[in-house]
Amino acid sequence: MSEVQGQAAGVEEEDVKLTPELIAFIAEWKPQPGNLIMVLHRVQEHFGYIPRPIAFEVAELLEIPVAKVYGVITFYHFFRMTKPGRHTVAVCMGTACYLKGGQELIDELETLLGCSNGSVTDDGEFGIQAVRCIGCCGLAPVLTVDGEVFGNLKTDDLPEILAQFRGK
Amino acid sequence: MKYKQYVLVCSGTACESSKSKDLIDALYHEVLAADLGADIQIVKTGCFGFCEKGPIVKVLPEETFYVQVKPDDAAEIVQEHLVKGRPVTRLLYDPQQSKAHAKLEDIDFYQKQVRIVLRNCGVIDPDSIDEYIARDGYVALEKVLFEMTPEGVIDELRKSGLRGRGGAGFPTWRKWEFTRQVASDEKYVMCNADEGDPGAYMDRSTLEGDPHSILEAMMIAGYTCGSCKGIIYIRAEYPLAIERLNRAISQAKEYGLMGEKILGTDFCFDIEIRLGAGAFVCGEETALIASTEGGRGMPIPRPPFPAVKGLWDKPTVINNVETYASIPVILMKGGDWYAKIGTETSKGTKVFALTGKIKNSGLIEVPMGTTLRDIIFGIGGGIKDGKKFKAVQTGGPSGGLIPEQYLDTPIDYENLGKLGSIVGSGGMIVMDEDDCVVDVTKFYLDFSVDESCGKCAPCRIGGKTLLTLLDRVSKGTGTDADIASMKQLSTAMQRASLCGLGQTTPNPVLSIIRHFEDELNAHIKDRHCPAGKCSALVRYEIDEEACIGCTVCARKCPVNCIAGERKQPHVIDQERCVKCGACLEACKFNAVIKS
């Protein structure tokens, strides 16, 4: 994460708070051993990422060190600490997709959107992410936008797919 | 039969992404419009396996098999086939076929398959416990609870010869036996559904297509090992599988097949779902346990084995999805029946995700002992676009590349091991002449390095160093000494790494050193990548004779390194060229030459 991004996210994050539903969810899981990953999943589902102040709140509510929360977030690919775009374009980089041109899809997306893999466009509309195999190898190369799968892609198909989501 | 005809529509992830949901809606609509609601039932099923040709539709009882059906085709299927009884030939796999009703069995993709694990996938509605029960579901559980002792179950599994399908191939009965023998007030039965191998999706399809089979087998494991608590550790990236598992669990509880006093006996069993969060190393059982306990998924040295000290330090039996899915059938039909399938050392069937440069990619299940050639050229239909076969990769990042001369090898744990690969979880990726073995190996190594948890030095440092050396080869700066270093490092990693991840990370590297010496040498000695994949060794040039100066390439070039006046030959600035190949693609006059 670059300095600039970190600061920008920091400004927005001041208002981020756990909702009553999230607090209830954490209370429900607290007595169960091994709850941290399940709680983080729920938090990320809600915010789209795990905001820094929330990580502190989670640690406090679960009565565990923040270091443990940080350790878990950074260990797993699924958890992220930066705000995603309004639409996330996830390009599968499983072996079948790699062989059939997954990297070319990422390169073309970077050109089309003007942001690099793992970052978000300046207007916050799209984020590009290379992801692990999503299990649709028969349709390789594959990408998903907000979970919707698009398969058998060529780089020429990308502008139309992005247009479907832009501004929505 | 309650209905005159059944229309089965695949709703696995691949087919759903090809709009099978809209297709189901369209079929409903058309069936109601034709006033056939009382005669025809539409069933959404799990994966048929033939993902290349999805969405798949099958009409019963005539078993007509339609491929690549679009929502717009619904009207024709209903009007022509269901109303008038004439199959829609243009939607058949082979429209030229003379038979009026082409069946699934007629298609070469299915001919050599034996479906035990996938027995219900594409046959039943995964959201219906009744359909699972109608296909002998929970019969094995009933038999075990009322007619068999735990020893009897283990004996049957021993006779079957079933070995763990997660990758290592450890005999399942021994795992169960170890866990059963340890005295403890609490024990756990875990299912490893953290399928992280890139290019493999058999567990996903099994869970999505037949979730109850996993629940049934876990309960049998609970009864056998003396546990009343099951945990399924599943990838968060598989939302459809999670949803179907959750539904299956609540249905089983409603039917008294899970929870307290199952089927009126004293046996109790509950299953809970825990989500993984994207860490390949969690496929290793001790790492999986650490992750389930809510921490960083790092492995610990064994022994003690999980059978003695596992989840929360209690005895724990962990099996993979495919292993569990085989168990109800084995207990119903008997271990001896299962042992008749397969080879001397590897019994039963194995599911493979056949993908890559192959005509029919999809999910297949074959008896152990089937040859690679039968799978690739029989079931898979050979290489796409008339290209030449180069290699098949099995076992993902932990496996190796197998060249053409070994294609007649019957697949089993031992044979693939001898070739420097592994059966693994079942990824099978076919490569053609356009794929470079160095490039692919770099891809796998990059994956393993990224996924190394960093706990032990051989894996953490060894993997990174191997990648650096291989990167040199791909850039044309590698030497023979680098190959020698890679061999030495690989041996050290295999011997000294803490877990299976580090021990198998060198496998792809060793396999290309062994089987693809010529291609490797071309990179080192000739500074040449025969497949033209390693971008540092590729050079794009413009043929002055052929170039008419249309300027298309210059406009397409992302780094503006092509210069030239209109109607004059253009030139590529080699210093600034990033070798993306955009000019080659753009040129309509074949003036751009790749060398």
CB B192 within 8 A of CB B283: yes
d(CA B586, CA B7): 46
CA-nearest residue to A110 within chain B is B558
Residue where one domain finishes, among candidates A40, A75, A110: A75
Query: Is residue A81 one of the residues assigned to a domain?
Result: no
Answer yes or no: do A65 and A28 share one domain: yes
| Structure confidence at residue B535 (pLDDT) | 86
Q: Do A138 and B431 touch (CB under 8 A)?
A: no
Contact of B381 with chain A, judged by CB distance below 8 Å, is answered with no
Query: Is residue A80 one of the residues assigned to a domain?
Result: no
Contact of A33 with chain B, judged by CB distance below 8 Å, is answered with yes
Q: Which domains does chain B have, with CATH numbers?
A: 5-106 (3.40.30.10), 129-338 (3.40.50.11540), 349-432 (3.10.20.600), 437-524 (1.20.1440.230), 539-594 (3.30.70.20)
Q: Number of A:B CB contacts under 8 A?
A: 139
Contact of A77 with chain B, judged by CB distance below 8 Å, is answered with yes
Q: Coil, strand, or helix at residue A39?
A: helix
DSSP output for B151-180: HHHHHHHHHHT-B-TTTT--BHHHHHHHHH
Answer yes or no: do A69 and A7 share one domain: yes
Query: Is residue A82 one of the residues assigned to a domain?
Result: no
Bridge partners of B342, per DSSP, are B347
| Structure confidence at residue B101 (pLDDT) | 57
Query: Is residue A116 one of the residues assigned to a domain?
Result: yes
Among residues A132, A89, A146, A80, the alpha carbon closest in space to that of A112 is found at A89
Answer yes or no: do A70 and A94 share one domain: no
Find the CB nearest B279 among A77, A148, A149. Answer: A77
CB B401 within 8 A of CB B441: yes
Answer yes or no: do A104 and A147 share one domain: yes
CA distances from A137 to A114, A162, B237, B280, B398 (A): 28, 22, 15, 18, 19
Residues of chain A found within 8 Å of residue B355, distances taken between Cβ atoms: 95-96, 137-138, 140
| Structure confidence at residue B16 (pLDDT) | 80
Rounded to a whole number of angstroms, the distance from the CA of B156 to the nearest CA of chain A is: 33
Answer yes or no: do A91 and A120 share one domain: yes
d(CA B211, CA B127): 8
Answer yes or no: do A94 and A59 share one domain: no
CB B485 within 8 A of CB B494: no
Answer yes or no: do A68 and A10 share one domain: yes
Q: Do B198 and A72 touch (CB under 8 A)?
A: no
Residue A16's pLDDT band, with cuts at 50, 70 and 90, is confident
| Structure confidence at residue B354 (pLDDT) | 94
d(CA B343, CA B567): 67
Contact of B349 with chain A, judged by CB distance below 8 Å, is answered with no
Residue where one domain finishes, among candidates A43, A75, A107: A75
CA-nearest residue to A139 within chain B is B52
Question: Tokens 């089965």 belong to which residue?
Answer: B8
Helix extents (H) in chain A? 3-13, 20-29, 36-47, 52-62, 66-75, 95-99, 102-113, 158-165
Contacts of B181 (CB under 8 A, 6+ apart): none
Q: What is the pTM of this model?
A: 0.91
User: What is the extent of the structural domain holding A29?
Assistant: 3-75
Mean pLDDT by 10 residues, chain B (595 residues): 87 82 93 92 91 89 91 94 91 72 77 93 94 96 97 97 91 97 96 89 93 98 97 92 96 96 96 94 95 95 94 97 97 97 96 94 94 95 94 95 96 95 93 95 96 96 97 95 97 96 96 96 93 89 92 89 91 88 88 87
Answer yes or no: do A102 and A144 share one domain: yes
d(CA A39, CA B232): 17
| Structure confidence at residue A9 (pLDDT) | 45
CB B201 within 8 A of CB B396: no
Query: Is residue A49 one of the residues assigned to a domain?
Result: yes
Answer yes or no: do A61 and A127 share one domain: no
Residue where one domain finishes, among candidates A29, A53, A75: A75
Query: Is residue A7 one of the residues assigned to a domain?
Result: yes
Among residues B317, B315, B276, B273, the alpha carbon closest in space to that of B295 is found at B276
Rounded to a whole number of angstroms, the distance from the CA of B503 to the nearest CA of chain A is: 20
Q: Are strands B349-356 and B362-367 parallel, antiparallel or unpaired?
A: antiparallel
Answer yes or no: do A91 and A160 share one domain: yes
User: How many beta carbons lie within 10 A of that of residue B2, not counting itself?
Assistant: 7
Give the mutation candidate from B201, B281, B314, B438 for the A interface (greatest A CB count, under 10 A).
Answer: B201
Question: Tokens 């002792």 belong to which residue?
Answer: B149
Residue A14's pLDDT band, with cuts at 50, 70 and 90, is low
Find the CB nearest B201 among A35, A135, A148. Answer: A135
Query: Is residue A158 one of the residues assigned to a domain?
Result: yes
Specify the CATH number for the domain of residue A158: 3.40.30.10
Residues of chain A found within 8 Å of residue B426, distances taken between Cβ atoms: none
**What is the count of structural domains for chain A?**
2
Contact of B361 with chain A, judged by CB distance below 8 Å, is answered with yes
Give residue B581's region: left, alpha or beta (phi > 0; psi -120 to 50).
left
Answer yes or no: do A91 and A130 share one domain: yes
Query: Is residue A60 one of the residues assigned to a domain?
Result: yes
Question: Tokens 């059982």 belong to which residue?
Answer: B285
CA distances from A96 to A89, A99, B419, B573 (A): 18, 5, 22, 33
CB B299 within 8 A of CB B290: yes
Give the mutation candidate from A26, A36, A92, A99 for the B interface (greatest B CB count, under 10 A).
Answer: A99
Answer yes or no: do A42 and A66 share one domain: yes
| Structure confidence at residue B102 (pLDDT) | 67
